[in-house]
Chain A
Amino acid sequence: MSSGHGTAKAAVLINAYTWIFDIRMMLQALTKKIWQWLGSIKLTIVILLLLVVDMVIGYWCLDRRTTIFQPLGDVGLFQWTSTYGLHNLLFTAWFFVLLGLLAMLTINTFICTTEKVITLLSRKRSFHLGRFWLRLAPHIMHYAIIVVLAGYLSSYMLADVHPGQTLVPGASLTIPNTNIHIKFSSYEPHYYQGKRLDFFHDWVIDPGAGLTISSSTVQRTAILSYNKPVRYQGYTIILKNFYPKKKGGMSPRVYINLSIRKDPGVVFYFSGMLLFAAGLLIYVFLWVYLKTEGRR
């Protein structure tokens, strides 16, 4: 009786193990299928086509709606989503779709590239060193794109931004929660004096705003202009606007508008760009080199 009971128990256990084994195998097969599907070139093409369609829609949605999208850089992705994003869903839905598509593209690129890199590494010995790097270079560029995208995402999620900071000559401000002081110390605008664009004659082409930035340890002076932000202890000081814009304008009062940001994403996208440039250089150099060698 007891031996029969034991046999039945063993059969149940074997059944259970078989069942678990089958499930495990199924899961493995499923994971493999998902992996292959996520990394397939067909998916890449579908995502890229969808991206084109989505961005065409985005083009129409962005037109004359800067007031909806501009705050994204200031308030961050989460806050923007819960306010401007959801409030104007008709015009922002394309952006959320874009985020989803970019996430899919990132996954797709990562899997596809990783697959290829693993295969390449396993066959490393069968390649000439130059050929190996020539084949690896495009993958470096793909990884670089992922790093750049990750950088932008972290920028929109983690940046500490202080927009709308106004200074007049002689005035100063302190960056919140720091001991960094910024003083608007000089204003030496450069006016357009050329003849080709008569309309812009006497307009300021470079405001040349002098800043004196100091903290408990370091003090430095810097000239701030459009496209020439000033960097100091991890903060970037960006010129958003200035006044007057031309000689003899309506109001002689001088002021500059600043946006101050500490952006952890900068490191990522600069690294990504460097990585991309390195990949591109390796590819171009080796392609030319191997072609020349082949001719010889």
Chain B
Amino acid sequence: MNYRITMIFLNLALLLMLTTITGCNKEETTEGKKRSFLQIGEFTVTRKGPDFTEVRDGADRTLILIPRDAELPQGYTRHQIVRVPVKRVAAWSNFDVSALRSLGVLEEVLVGVIQPEDKWHIDEVKRGMEAGKIVYLGNSNAIDFEKLKKQQPELALTWDRSVIPMLNELEIPCIITSAPVAMCLNARMRYVQFLAPFFQRENEADAFFARVSDALKEIRELTSYALKEPKVMWGDIYEKRVLVEPGNAWVGELVELAQSDYLFEDVYGTSCIEISTERFLYSGEDADILFTYSSPSTGATSKAALARMNPLLGRIRPLKTGRVYAPMAHYSQSGDKLDEILIEISAILHPELYPGYELRYFIELPDIDPVIPGDQS
């Protein structure tokens, strides 16, 4: 009897295996080619057919990209359908706006942003806002949804999950472009390849990735000659919280790749992750370089100014004997120049390898604020 049972069991196992194998083969051969799949951190693009692409966004939501004239596929809700190429976009973050620029579609498709005109450093956006084509939709806490609806966007790129129900109500498809885990260097470089199918600009995305890859290769080669390994921290102390870039974030990976020591390498999680003050100060005792989130426009004009804003920060080594760098105002809107940014960070870490390099995205903070002649205060 036990032989019979084993035969039945083995046959069932064999049948299951055969079904799996034939099932997999079928998937690959029905389209005549292998199904293409691209993973960019938490984001994915799966080409299921010439006119049918499935994407997964930063909030684990699945959306379907189909041609503008295609019939609605079955099994999906209307909020999941995006008609491509998308012609009108509302974008929440600077990062997404600069990604649109990398794809060469910014001027053509952008119709709404959540920063007023005077905060923009991208010419196309300024021009668009002046002409009235691009509209300021209000800040992230008070989006004017009526204005948004009037702009008739075919897609909203947002980091704010709380607007999803409202956008669903307005029948505006949206993708969440932030993820619970910080983007690694590879994901940061490839992010445009996630957006590309929405605008059918895959070639532009590939070209962007190739450009940044070349820059990275150059950094790797050049920094292999570095004699010193500077110790780096990236973050800030605020009134009630301490925020840093974790080791899994692209900046952490870049610092490590450029023959340097990232002091929050062991921290894992979301971008701008909160850590304890003690941990920040402990790492700060050894650090040579601090990249602060604060910019000169928010008061980070010198090391002394930073220490005045937060006395605890004054205890760390970069503020005493090291170097401190703050992002320039246009830094966060320069995602399309990622190759230049990566090279600049490498030049900051190893100035001896980049003689005569002039900073374009970061500013080195002086020890004290420069004295302005005639300023009595």
Shortest C-beta distance, A16 to chain B (Å), equals 24
Name B46-85 residues within 8 Å CB distance of A. 46, 56-57, 59-62, 77
Task: Select the stretch in A6-14, A109-117, A264-272 that faces chain B.
Answer: A109-117
Q: Is A34 an interface residue (CB 8 A)?
A: yes
Judge whether B181 and A166 touch: CB under 8 Å: no
Would A35 and B268 count as touching, CB distance under 8 A?
no
Per-position contact with B for A53-95: 1 when CB-CB < 8 Å, else 0? 0000000000010111001001000100111101110000000
A124 is an interface residue with CB less than 8 A from chain B: no
* Contact count band on B: 35 or more
Q: Report yes or no: B59 in contact with A164, Cβ–Cβ below 8 A.
A: yes
Q: Which of B116-169 contact A (CB under 8 A)?
A: 140-141, 160-162, 164-166
- In the complex, what's the smallest C-beta–C-beta distance from B186 to chain A, in angstroms? 11
B169 CB to closest chain A CB, in angstroms? 8
Inter-subunit contact B13/A103 (CB<8 Å): yes
Given A28-B3, A118-B2, the answer on whether A107 and B164 have CB atoms closer than 8 Å is no
Contact B42 A67 (CB under 8 A): yes
User: Are B2 and A115 in contact, with the CB atoms below 8 A?
Assistant: yes
The contact of A171 among B37, B42, B165, B268, by CB within 8 Å, is B165
Q: B276 an interface residue at 8 Å Cβ cutoff?
A: yes
Interface assignment of A138: CB less than 8 Å from any CB of chain B: no
Residues 34-53 of A, flagged 1 when their CB comes within 8 A of B and 0 if not, give 11001000000000000000
What DSSP secondary structure best describes chain A's contact surface? Answer: helix
Contacts of A78 in B (CB 8 A): 20, 23
A294 at the interface (CB under 8 A from B): no
A255/B3 in contact, CB under 8 A: no
| Any A CB within 8 A of the CB of B9 | yes
Q: Which of B6, B35, B181 contacts A111 (CB 8 A)?
A: B6
A96 vs B211: C-alpha distance when bound (angstroms): 36
A64 touches B248 (CB 8 A): yes
Shortest CB-to-CB span from A236 to chain B, Å, is: 16
* A273 in contact (CB, < 8 A): no
B13 partner residues in chain A, CB cutoff 8 A: 103, 107
Instruction: Check if B24 sits within 8 Å of A257, measured CB to CB.
Output: no
Interface string of B327-338 (1 = CB under 8 A from A): 000000000000
- B210 CB, nearest partner CB in chain A, Å: 20
Q: Bound complex: CA of A110 vs CA of B9, how far in Å?
A: 10
A34/B6 in contact, CB under 8 A: yes
| Contact residues, A137-164 vs B (CB, 8 A) | 163-164
**Can you sample 30 A-B contacts with CB below 8 Å?**
A28-B3, A31-B3, A32-B3, A34-B6, A66-B181, A67-B39, A67-B41, A67-B181, A71-B56, A78-B23, A82-B35, A87-B39, A111-B9, A115-B2, A163-B60, A164-B57, A164-B61, A164-B176, A166-B161, A166-B164, A167-B165, A173-B165, A176-B77, A243-B162, A251-B140, A251-B141, A253-B162, A255-B162, A255-B164, A259-B60
Apart from A67-B41, A111-B2, A168-B165, what are 4 other A-B pairs with CB-CB below 8 Å?
A35-B2, A82-B37, A84-B39, A255-B161
A interface vs B, CB < 8 Å? Answer: 28, 31-32, 34-35, 38, 64, 66-68, 71, 74, 78, 81-84, 86-88, 103, 107, 110-111, 114-115, 118, 163-164, 166-168, 171, 173, 176, 199, 241, 243, 251-255, 257, 259
